[in-house]
Structure 1
Amino acid sequence: MAGFFFLLLMVLFSTQVFAAPVKHKPAQSRAQTQNKEARERMKNRAKLLAKAKKRVAVVPLTPEQRIRQAAEKLASRSWNRQQLAMHARWRPGYFGGSERLLPLATESLMAEMVSPRVEETIYKVIHRLKQQLGKPYVWGGQTPDQGFDCSGLINYAYNQLLSRKLPRTANGMFQDSKLKRVNQQQLQRGDLVFFSIKSQDKADHVGVYLGDGQFIEAPRTGLNIRISQLTDNYWQDHYLGAKRILTEEAIL
């Protein structure tokens, strides 16, 4: 019996001596692993969201949505006019020291009220004009296939939307008593801007004001339809006046 107990003690002693020590992971290492896994999950989620956004189709605005936007712009302009009336002595600063830029700086505040129907027509006209960008100037041209001269471009963009057709020439439009004359500081998108380049007392060039001091034009032979800066010295030196076409009474 004593030999049996002695053998049992020897077995237990050898097991403790030769057994491999158990290593325990420190708590900090486990936390780092969990944080890394969390970051990977967040990264994968961001990738999935990005893919989902790419799959969303960009739907163009419907006419009703554009009219709603126009109404919102109208309300915003009305609020701006109220603010301007409350501060009648306020004057905006100069742009680079040039007083000629001052009228264009306040156009959004001084603009007349525009109905949603007129706003929609302005949108159509400007969209139609911008589709012709890059096409050649052609004297006498008035179609996309031919090319355009300055007044031909105006006729093409406007006449289908007006109850009364415009005169064919730039000076004819400028002299048309039924078109409302507007000051430069009151320019709105869609207004015609006239220039006297080769003659002193009549309009021999016309473009369409786009807002933000820009207008679109068919310039001259050898050049393409383009957007120009009304505030440039050249155009200010030759500026003759402006007329408003798009009113409630004029559009179809």
Structure 2
Amino acid sequence: MLNRAKLLAKKKKSLKVVPLTPEQKRREAAQKLALRQQNRQQLAMHSRWKPGYFGSSDRLLLLQTEELMAEMVSPRVESTLHKVVHRLKQQLGKPYVWGGQTPSQGFDCSGLIYYVYNQLLSRKLPRTANGMFQDRGLKHVPKEALRRGDLIFFQIKSRDKADHVGVYLGEGQFIEAPRTGLNIRISQFEDDYWQDHYLGAKRVITEESVL
């Protein structure tokens, strides 16, 4: 009887759950929608975000919050990256020409990058692939952290310097001006040939570097 009395007293003291009113429900739904839209805007700036992944893939959910924030870029940088990729793809099919650095001439590997990037940067890039690779003003990027717009360097014929460069496009692809007799093209970075000759990567488009 004593235990029963204690339980009854405890039950009387417990707060009753009051159902939300229709107005409270509408307010709560509006707050959730606003938060969801804010999250989507932040994720849209993520270098690995693509429409359609939500609900069908947990690819981004695997990222830790710190990693997600580290890879996010500002709208200004994202806009510049979009311009870079667009201008690079405009040159697809143009012929490789040693020393070329304009659409009318054709391009060699570094000439293509020199032409596209230097229109958008506050500080001009060197003209040669090895000059770009040795440029101390450009940040080295680990292979696993590559993002769209990064320069990737290779040793094709030389053993002590970079003699080829392309631009990483994401999803394991990069754009390059390959060699005499071939045209500017998109290649697969994961192919054994490129992995065997890979030297390193540099990040060019940053908040500080764009005009």
TM-score between the two structures when normalised by the length of structure 2: 0.71
Q: Distance between the aligned counterparts of 2:48 and 2:141, measured in 1?
A: 18
Residue 85 (1) aligns with residue 56 (2): no
The runs of at least 4 consecutive aligned structure 1 residues that moved more than 2 Å come to 69-72, 74-86, 108-111
Sequence identity percentage: 74
Query: Could you say which structure has the greater relative contact order, defined with CA pairs below 8 angstroms and 6 or more residues apart?
Result: 2
Q: Counterpart of 2:63 in structure 1: which amino acid?
A: L
Aligned counterpart, 1:173:
132
Residue by residue over 1:201-244, the C-alpha shift from the partner in whole angstroms, topping out at 9 and shown as x without a partner, is 21000000000000000000000000000000000000000000
Residue 198 (1) aligns with residue 136 (2): no
Q: Distance between the aligned counterparts of 1:121 and 1:214, measured in 2?
A: 19
Residue 136 (1) aligns with residue 81 (2): no
Aligned counterpart, 1:234:
193
Unaligned runs of 5+ in 1: 1-68, 87-107
Structure 1 pair 71/161, CA: closer, same or farther in 2 (3 Å)? farther
Aligned counterpart, 2:26:
none
Q: Name the SS of the counterpart of 1:161 in structure 2.
A: coil
Q: Distance between the aligned counterparts of 1:113 and 1:132, measured in 2?
A: 28
Structure 1 pair 224/70, CA: closer, same or farther in 2 (3 Å)? farther
Residue by residue over 1:126-163, the C-alpha shift from the partner in whole angstroms, topping out at 9 and shown as x without a partner, is 00000000000000000000000000000111001000
Q: Name the SS of the counterpart of 2:178 in structure 1.
A: coil
Structure 1 pair 192/113, CA: closer, same or farther in 2 (3 Å)? same
Q: Tell me the matched-pair count.
A: 164
Residue by residue over 1:28-67, the C-alpha shift from the partner in whole angstroms, topping out at 9 and shown as x without a partner, is xxxxxxxxxxxxxxxxxxxxxxxxxxxxxxxxxxxxxxxx
Give the helix-richer structure, 1 or 2.
1
What is the Cα deviation at residue 113 of structure 1? 1.7
Q: Give the number of the structure whose alpha-carbon radius of gyration is greater.
A: 1
Q: Distance between the aligned counterparts of 2:128 and 2:138, measured in 1?
A: 14
Is the 2:47–2:71 Cα contact (8 Å) retained in structure 1? no
What is the Cα deviation at residue 73 of structure 1? 1.1
Of 102, 114, 122 in structure 2, the residue corresponding to residue 155 of structure 1 is 114
Structure 1 pair 114/74, CA: closer, same or farther in 2 (3 Å)? same
Q: Name the SS of the counterpart of 2:104 in structure 1.
A: coil
Of 197, 200, 220 in structure 1, the residue corresponding to residue 179 of structure 2 is 220
Q: Distance between the aligned counterparts of 2:191 and 2:136, measured in 1?
A: 28
Is the 1:77–1:111 Cα contact (8 Å) retained in structure 2? no
What is the Cα deviation at residue 200 of structure 1? 1.0
What is the Cα deviation at residue 80 of structure 1? 7.1
For 1:23-102, list aligned pairs within 5 A: 71-74=42-45, 83-85=62-64
What is the Cα-based RMSD across aligned positions, in Å? 2.7
TM-score between the two structures when normalised by the length of structure 1: 0.60
